[in-house]
Amino acid sequence: METYTLSNGVEIPKVGFGTWQVASGEEAENSVLAALEAGYRHIDTAAAYKNEDSVGAAIKKSGIAREELFITTKLGSKAHSYEGAKEALAQSLENLGLDYLDLYLIHWPNPISLRDNLWQEANAGTWKAMEEAYEAGKIRAIGISNFRQHHIDELLKTAKITPHVNQIFANPSDEQKELVEYCKEKGILIEAYSPLGVGKIFEVPELKDLAAKYEKSVAQLVLRWSLQKGFLPLPKSVTPSRIKENLEVFDFEIAQEDMDFMDTLRGVAGMAKDPDAVGF
């Protein structure tokens, strides 16, 4: 597995296995086991997904050495405070059965409970707790998710550590170019969740033709697009054959003219949610 190097020197596998919308229990455990057997070493979950326990069970059952894995989870929207973040981190570690995390993210910048100009202070306290956990060795890297430029600007007013990662909705339907450029300037790696547009990307006829040209699936084509953009895609599936297929994206390259065409597909599979207007 090829890796990116985060701004703090930590290496992170270039493709991760996403577990959003995978139900806790047997489905989540089996899908993570299938991913690990296929060669994934980067697993992404979140407190809000309510499947950390199943992810942890799969990790334990796999028998793979902990140091070979890269495990990410995220802080839920009800834990935005200094004390809340410390408690949430401890709970996630317990759920996963781990002594440390490789990456911990603030899941959303502006939960509805903090909508009245409280999110800035809440994020500052949350980040302080995360920085302390990072310095104590409980987390190897810290980051954010769904943060736009103004959220990051506010965070950096008090942060000692610039986020290592921003995990955002990103695929040919919505690249979020201005945000991506901003993060690159700050040395923040972009992780792409919903890199397949929650399945809607498969409905685009032109992508089917383009995938045939490269003798690849539409999923492989779109994941390769993400990698060539410098993103870290997090594809999700519960089907072992597709889980394996989604990892087979390092043996071809999309020509620039085809990349340019894919960039024109804006809106075909939805757009990123406005984090200042989500209903949670």
CB 139 within 8 A of CB 237: no
DSSP letter for 174, please.
B
Q: 256: which residues sit within 8 A by CB, 6+ positions away?
A: none
Residue 3 CB-density burial (10 A; 0-12 exposed, 13-18 middle, 19+ buried): middle
Amino acid identity of residue 114, one-letter, is L
For the packed helices 82-96 and 52-62, what is the interaxial angle rounded to 10 degrees?
A: 40
182: annotated active-site residue: no
Q: How many helices (H) and strands (E) does the chain have?
A: 10, 10
CA distance 58 to 17: 13
The angle formed by the CA atoms of residues 103, 164 and 63, to the nearest 5 degrees, is: 25
> Of 4, 40, 49, 193, which residue is the catalytic one?
49
Instruction: Report DSSP letters for 198-224, one per residue.
Output: GGGGGG-HHHHHHHHHTTS-HHHHHHH
CA distance 225 to 178: 18
Instruction: Give which of 108, 165, 159 is closest to 139, Cα–Cα.
Output: 165
Active site residues: 49
